[in-house]
Structure 1
């Protein structure tokens, strides 16, 4: 007696997962694989529907190198849903931010005060506007010394690639007033090594290239750790992390030297580097361990940090 195999098709299961969770380019790639259609065949079927899009554009879309934005591109995506036998809005829905969600991204100049210097450093390192990585979670530990100086910081970082071929991350350090970036040391702690390092002579900005041990494919996650040893600036009053893209989870811990404890700590946000502080909330300093921290989920583009008063 024969039996029918009721196990789910792994290709269809992957398609269902990709359509449910996104992002767009992985869902498109899964749909193409499930239907067994080459890009030139897809292009031909779109043309039959009066929609003309190049094979190169389709390739960029499935790689995550480009994202359909213009009206004619969105019309092509709606036609793709028909060609690939997908439910209406299965792909177009992945191109829309959820209701009430903040801007999908912000440029570096919006989240770093020394944006002119930073822009020149990123250009020197041939950094694309989108490095191909989104942060899944990040744990950052900051140390403030007995002279109230920023001694250093260490970061444990989990990222996900949204296009193929990503093999590095550019870490940005912005010191306090008086910082000498040429004296700041970069450490590669886990699953990466230090590549090129650039700093600006007229600002407190340093950019370090961290090279991964593997070249990532779209959808891959990667864990790595790195740090900066500073101690060159004047008294520190806050630590701020700028996000150009949404972040899944962010934890910031600031440890103070027992000889120099602040009298008041607070959490704050800024939409841009020049915007006023918002989202203020008092934080409790753990006196025994001299630590204050914040933990945030679904962080949007902008700035998030902890500030403190010495007197």
Structure 2
């Protein structure tokens, strides 16, 4: 999905986000509006004597990092020229927040997003893979099915990503089951444009980590679309589904569907800053009678946790 058309819609939308921010969304929208890949932005900056790596540009437009040093702020001034923006329009959005000089963090550690970060750390070490695999998400659709025993049956994802370094040919997917989940019985199913690579799980913890191998090797700035699913059905009664985001990203859609014979009495969406934090921003969701589903839509997800919870009679 085109981030510009989703996030801003029109040039007028770009004007709006340049007024309101935040910086990373304004930068991303401006780059999309110009139709430039990040390596082309880097090249045009280099022509002006400004040298910034594609990775740094990618992190800036994700919200994973903010330009702070003098040379970085000089690059932001040059970006305004490269992208045809009014003078100061991006720099203004980097002004410190009025909260004692502190700024809200632009990212979350994976330790804060998962209830068993120790297990996840061990599994990642076995795969010799960091969570930041050189990709950031542009668009993510996720569907969850809850079964007749009120258990999490399946969760499937369709993602569009962009590489921010050369040579990317895979990504990691992580599944956290409900209490009682048997990770050795969870199955990973590859969808379009990918294959299942190595799969790791830990006895006694409801965690499964898998590699998804792409059909091509991406260069920096290239985009890719792929799909996959986890088939579970091994855990106990499910009460919520959550998705953690380390960095600010693109649009996210989550849809949860229920069995016709076992419908919840109430559903709501919510957010958390970390795995152990109290939910905030709860909104009631109406169950669709025809499809027996509820959903949430966020035009810019993360950093943090988004989810849907439900109550049984």
- Structure 2 length as normaliser, TM-score? 0.75
Match of 1:27 among 25, 30, 41: 41
Aligned mates of 2:192, 2:283 — CA distance in 1: 33
Counterpart position of 1:229: 231
Counterpart position of 1:243: 245
Counterpart position of 1:283: 285
1:17-40: CA deviation from partner (whole Å, max 9, x where unpaired): 5897999876333322x46xxxxx
Match of 2:142 among 119, 129, 140: 140
Counterpart position of 1:149: 151
Q: Cα offset for 1:135?
A: 1.1
Aligned mates of 1:262, 1:307 — CA distance in 2: 10
Aligned mates of 1:83, 1:309 — CA distance in 2: 52
Counterparts of residues 124-135 of structure 1 (less than 5 Å): 124-128=126-130, 130-135=132-137
Match of 2:70 among 70, 75, 83: 75
Match of 2:109 among 94, 107, 110: 107
Looking at CA atoms only, which structure, 1 or 2, has the larger radius of gyration? 1
Pair 1:187 & 2:176 matched? no
1:249-268: CA deviation from partner (whole Å, max 9, x where unpaired): 11111110111110000001
Counterpart position of 1:258: 260
Alpha-carbon RMSD: 3.5
Q: Cα offset for 1:63?
A: 3.9
2:125 is paired with a residue whose SS is helix
Residues 241 and 77 (structure 1), Cα distance of their counterparts in 2 relative to 1, 3 Å cut: closer
Q: Cα offset for 1:106?
A: 1.1
Aligned mates of 2:38, 2:96 — CA distance in 1: 14
Cα pair 1:18 1:26 within 8 Å, conserved:
no
2:251 is paired with a residue whose SS is strand
Pair 1:64 & 2:49 matched? no
Q: Cα offset for 1:290?
A: 1.1
1:44-91: CA deviation from partner (whole Å, max 9, x where unpaired): xx9xxxxxxxxxxx6xx52417979899x933446678999x68988x
Size of the aligned set, in residue pairs, is 272
Residues 23 and 177 (structure 1), Cα distance of their counterparts in 2 relative to 1, 3 Å cut: farther
Cα pair 1:29 1:62 within 8 Å, conserved:
no
Aligned mates of 1:156, 1:25 — CA distance in 2: 26
Which consecutive residues of structure 1, in runs of 5 or more, have no partner in the other structure? 1-15, 36-41, 47-57
Residues 70 and 256 (structure 1), Cα distance of their counterparts in 2 relative to 1, 3 Å cut: closer
Aligned mates of 2:137, 2:95 — CA distance in 1: 17
Higher mean Cα deviation, 74-83 or 92-101? Answer: 92-101
Q: Cα offset for 1:103?
A: 2.9
Counterpart position of 2:276: 274
Higher mean Cα deviation, 203-212 or 120-129? Answer: 120-129
- Structure 1 length as normaliser, TM-score? 0.76
Q: Cα offset for 1:163?
A: 1.9
1:201 is paired with a residue whose SS is coil
Aligned mates of 1:161, 1:95 — CA distance in 2: 26
Cα pair 2:76 2:91 within 8 Å, conserved:
no
Q: Cα offset for 1:130?
A: 2.3
Q: Cα offset for 1:104?
A: 2.3
Counterpart position of 2:309: 307
